[in-house]
Structure 1
């Protein structure tokens, strides 16, 4: 699956795809939000959680950029 196919999925299907095909990379906490990074094929998926309420508040996919920079220390060791 490529990033374009992923992006046209419904929100529920995106979460299902991440849980079945995604490879966990790392979690970063900033204030009330946890950011969880997964790798799928040749792109990244970040799931955002409200840590206080333990609820998913967003999902995004990308190949590079500001969101990926948040994990730069982690990715150097991979």
Structure 2
């Protein structure tokens, strides 16, 4: 499945595909927000979770860029 096919699915179906076929990679915490990164072969999916409210607040897919950089251990430069 490609990113465009994934993006046209309903939100429910995106979560279903992600949690059954995606490969968990890592998590990052920023305050009360938690981000979980999954690999879907040819693209990445990030699930955003609000810890205080105990609920998933979003899902997004991407190929590269600043969102993926969040999971890097490389120090940020100015």
* TM-score past 0.5 threshold: yes
Task: Give RMSD over aligned pairs.
Answer: 1.1
What residue ranges of structure 1 are gaps of 5+ in the alignment?
none
TM-score (ref. length: structure 2): 0.91
- Deviation of residue 54 (structure 1)? 1.5
Counterpart-to-counterpart distance in 2, 1:10 and 1:73: 33
Aligned length: 74
Instruction: Name the structure where helix makes up a greater proportion of residues.
Output: 1
> Structure 1: which 4+ aligned runs deviate by more than 4 Å?
none
What residue ranges of structure 2 are gaps of 5+ in the alignment?
none
TM-score (ref. length: structure 1): 0.91
Q: Residues 6-38 of structure 1, C-alpha deviation per residue, up to 9 Å, x if partnerless?
A: 000110111101100110000101011000000
